[in-house]
Amino acid sequence: MIEMMLYTALVLFGVSIAIALFRIIFGPSLPDRVVALDMIGVHLISAIAIISLILGTKSFLEVILILGVLAFIGTIVFSKYIERGVVIERKRDL
């Protein structure tokens, strides 16, 4: 019963990642794509949590933390690139 529920949840997360992939491919603007990319990162975290439950190991729990940090920093960098046009500003005139 519990195995069946876990596999169903994994399949549903795969479906939602596939739908977000559709938005990345056909998104009309760049922030659409970044929103969908952030959503894929967040859903991948929970898919990895379910995989670590199914395999019965504790070794994937570091992956959750590091993937969360990387998805957050990637979204921050993309938002700065969209707003300013560069990622690292070299000259600043204050």
Partner 1 sequence: MNVSVIFEFIAALMILVGSIISVISALGIIRFPDVYTRSHAAAKSSTLAVLLTLSGTFLYFWASESLISVRLILGILFVFITAPVACHLIIRAAYRSNVKMSNLTIEDELKDVLRDKEQ
How many positions of this chain bind partner 1 (CB under 8 A)?
48
Is 76 near partner 1 (CB under 8 A)?
yes
Is 69 near partner 1 (CB under 8 A)?
yes
* Residue 65 falls in which region: left (phi positive, over 0), alpha (psi -120 to 50) or beta: alpha
Find the binder of partner 1 among 43, 90, 93, 94 (CB under 8 A): 43
Find the binder of partner 1 among 58, 90, 91, 92 (CB under 8 A): 58
Is 70 near partner 1 (CB under 8 A)?
no
Q: Are 75 and 62 in contact (CB under 8 A)?
A: no
Collect all residues with Cβ–Cβ distance below 8 Å to 56 and sequence separation of at least 6: none
